[in-house]
Amino acid sequence: MTTIEIADARVVRRGPMFWVCRYLPGEIAGTAALVLAGLGVTVWTDAPIAIALAGLVGAVIGFYGVLAVTIYSEHSIAAHGRSRRGTFALLLAEFGPVEFVDTLLIRPAALMLGVWMAPDPTWGLLAGKLAADVLFYAAVAKSHSTGGARGVRAARDRQTVP
């Protein structure tokens, strides 16, 4: 006798408010840290590359610090109060390879270009961040929609035959 089990193929659809609530606190912290770190470097130098890289480090620490706390608390609650290991892995999996390209290539270039072109480093950092964010979130949205469809197909195709 053959039995076939097909995994539940429901897709959890999340509206715009979920994404705003999830990422807005990190974006606020990241932007504040970007400006503070970038302007902090101007005490020693006015080199656009130094200002941009300091801003990048500040933004990464601010944004991912808040997101790490968010992910940790979500999974701690899901584990009924027990701390959940793997927050860092989940943080990396949240964005995938898009994050590496953004952090190592697109965002530093956008920040440097913004600082170089704007007369004030604050406006240059903010303009560079905005440009990098548009590219980043467009890529993440595409990645999530593609990954979601792939996940549904994988769940639908997962069968066990004893």
Domain ranges of the chain: 16-149
E strand intervals along 2-157: 5-6
* Position 4 confidence tier, pLDDT thresholds 50, 70, 90: very low
Lowest mean pLDDT among 33-37, 89-93, 143-147: 143-147
Distance CA 121, CA 114 (A): 8
Each residue's pLDDT tens digit, 88-111: 666 667 667 888 889 899 999 999
The whole-model pTM stands at: 0.72
Give me the helix-helix angle, 107-117 and 121-157, nearest 10°. Answer: 160
Measured from the Cβ of residue 74, the count of other Cβ atoms closer than 10 Å reads: 14
Q: What is the mean pLDDT of residues 66-87?
A: 69
Neighbours of 140 (CB within 10 A): 18
